[in-house]
C-alpha cells in the first residue's frame, strides 16, 4: 500500500513478560507478526528483549536484532526510553516511586540516577543510529509537575527555574541525537513537565528551537485533559515525528472530572481504552496527519483498563491497517483540466 503513514506497529512494553512468547525478542516478534503487525517499538530498558549498551557499541549486534525481526517480516519502528527519560528530571516528592525505574545500586542516589539516565539516552542515540532509525520515543521527566495547579500560589520564577533546568539537562542529549541523525520524540503526558502544547513551547524556547526536540503524538492523553487533539496536529505537525495509536474516553459526572478523584483506572471519568472502544476520532487524526505529510509509524500502545491485552493486540493491527490512507497521486478533478496557458489565463482575467 502506498501510504504516507507506515503501519501497523506495536509498542512491546505492555506485552513483555516472563513466559513465552513474551520473554524474548524473536518470540514476541513472531507473535506480533502473526497478528499482522509490520513493525515493533522496543522498550530499551527491558533486558529480556534488548541490550541497549551493546546496541550502542556493536553494529554486529544491531544487525542480528534486525535480522531476527526480518525473519518475521518486521522492522523496528523506534526504540523507547520512556523510563530512562522520566529519570532525567525527578522532583524529590517522586524520588521513591521513580527509584524503581533505576538500577538497584542507584536507588536513593538522585544525582547518580540522573547521570545514569542521561547516559542511557546518549546510548539510545547511538543505538538508534546503528539500527538505521530516524526517531526515538521518550519522556521528558518533571521538576515542576507537583506545582501544576497554582495553589498554593506559585512563587515568582518557580516554573521558569524548573524549565531552565530541564532544558539544561536535555540540551546535551538533544545534541547527541543530532549527531546521530535521530529525532527525540517526547510523549506529551501527565506526570511530565511536557504535558501539553504550551509546556512544550516553553521547553522549545529554552533549547533554542532545537531541531531534534520533537513530539510523539498520543491523542488519548489529550482526551483525558480535554485538549483539542485535532487542532494540536495543525499547531505542531512539523514537530510530530512519532505516533502512538491509543484510544480513551472521558465521561465526567457529578462525582469527578479531569482529576479522577484518586480512583483506580476503571473507575475514573477519563480512562484509556482499546482501539475502537473509546471516543478518539481516528479517521480525522489519520486524515490530518496524512494531510500534513506525516511519514512515520502508527504504533499501537495498549493500556485498556477493561479488555485483555492479547485481545487488544489482536484487534489493533487490523484497526490501524484500516485507517491507513493511500495518498492520491493526482488531483481528483484532473480529468477536467483544460490545458490553458498563460495567454489564456490573462484573457480569462480580462487582461488582454
Q: Pick 313 or 344 by higher pLDDT.
A: 313
pLDDT, position 352: 73
The average pLDDT across 67-76 equals: 98
Average confidence score pLDDT of the chain? 96
CB 274 within 8 A of CB 302: yes
Peptide bond before residue 285 is cis, with ω within 30 degrees of 0: no
Query: In Å, how far from its chain's centre is CA 46?
Result: 17
The average pLDDT across 14-20 equals: 97
Position 331 confidence tier, pLDDT thresholds 50, 70, 90: low
The residues near 299 (Cβ < 8 Å, ≥ 6 apart) are 7, 8, 9, 10, 11, 39, 41, 77, 78, 242, 243, 244, 245
- State the maximum Cα–Cα separation within the chain, in Å, rounded to a whole number: 83
Position 3 confidence tier, pLDDT thresholds 50, 70, 90: low
Taking only the tens place, the pLDDT of each residue in 162-207 is: 999 999 999 999 999 999 999 999 999 999 999 999 999 999 999 9
- What's phi and psi for 315, nearest 5 deg? -80, -25
CB 80 within 8 A of CB 44: yes
Domain boundaries of the chain, sorted by first residue: 6-348
- CATH superfamily of the domain spanning 6-348: Divalent-metal-dependent TIM barrel enzymes (3.20.20.150)
**Of 66-75, 84-93, 246-255, 329-338, which gets the smallest average pLDDT?**
329-338
Distance CA 234, CA 139 (A): 22
Find, among 45, 42, 49, the residue nearest to 103 by Cα.
45
pLDDT, position 335: 62
The average pLDDT across 297-306 equals: 97
Q: Pick 335 or 251 by higher pLDDT.
A: 251
Position 1 confidence tier, pLDDT thresholds 50, 70, 90: very low
Amino acid at each position: 500500500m502506498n501510504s504516507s503513514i507506515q503501519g501497523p506497529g506495536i509498542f512491546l512494553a505492555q506485552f513483555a513478560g516472563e513466559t513465552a512468547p513474551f520473554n524474548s525478542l524473536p518470540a514476541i516478534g513472531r507473535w506480533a507478526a502473526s497478528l499482522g503487525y509490520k513493525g515493533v517499538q522496543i522498550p530499551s530498558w527491558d533486558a529480556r528483549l534488548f541490550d541497549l549498551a551493546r546496541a550502542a557499541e556493536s553494529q554486529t549486534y544491531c544487525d542480528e536484532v534486525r535480522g531476527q525481526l526480518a525473519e518475521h517480516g518486521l522492522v523496528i519502528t523506534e526504540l523507547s526510553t520512556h523510563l530512562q527519560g522520566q529519570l532525567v528530571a525527578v522532583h524529590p516528592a517522586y524520588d521513591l516511586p521513580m527509584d524503581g525505574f533505576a538500577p538497584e545500586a542507584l536507588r536513593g542516589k538522585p544525582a547518580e540516577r540522573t547521570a545514569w539516565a542521561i547516559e542511557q539516552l546518549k546510548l539510545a542515540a547511538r543505538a538508534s543510529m546503528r539500527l538505521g532509525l530516524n526517531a526515538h520515543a521518550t519522556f521528558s521527566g518533571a521538576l515542576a509537575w507537583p506545582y501544576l495547579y497554582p495553589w498554593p500560589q506559585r512563587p515568582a520564577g518557580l516554573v521558569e527555574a524548573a524549565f531552565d533546568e530541564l532544558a539544561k539537562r536535555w540540551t546535551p542529549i538533544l545534541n547527541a541525537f543530532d549527531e546521530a541523525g535521530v529525532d527525540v520524540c517526547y510523549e506529551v503526558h501527565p506526570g511530565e513537565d511536557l504535558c501539553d502544547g504550551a509546556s512544550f513551547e516553553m521547553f522549545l524556547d529554552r533549547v533554542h528551537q532545537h531541531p531534534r526536540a520533537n513530539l510523539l503524538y498520543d491523542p488519548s492523553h489529550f482526551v483525558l485533559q480535554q485538549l483539542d487533539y485535532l487542532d494540536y496536529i495543525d499547531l505542531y505537525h512539523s514537530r510530530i515525528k512519532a505516533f502512538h495509536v491509543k484510544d480513551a474516553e472521558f465521561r465526567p459526572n457529578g462525582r469527578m472530572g479531569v482529576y479522577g478523584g484518586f480512583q483506580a483506572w476503571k473507575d475514573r471519568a477519563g480512562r484509556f481504552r482499546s482501539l475502537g472502544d473509546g471516543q478518539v476520532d481516528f479517521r480525522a487524526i489519520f486524515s490530518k496527519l496524512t494531510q500534513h505529510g506525516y511519514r512515520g509509524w502508527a504504533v499501537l500502545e495498549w493500556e485498556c483498563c477493561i479488555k485483555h491485552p492479547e485481545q487488544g493486540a489482536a484487534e489493533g493491527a487490523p484497526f490501524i491497517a484500516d485507517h491507513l490512507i493511500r495518498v492520491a497521486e493526482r488531483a481528483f478533478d484532473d480529468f477536467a483540466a483544460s490545458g490553458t496557458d498563460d495567454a489564456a489565463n490573462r484573457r480569462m482575467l480580462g487582461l488582454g
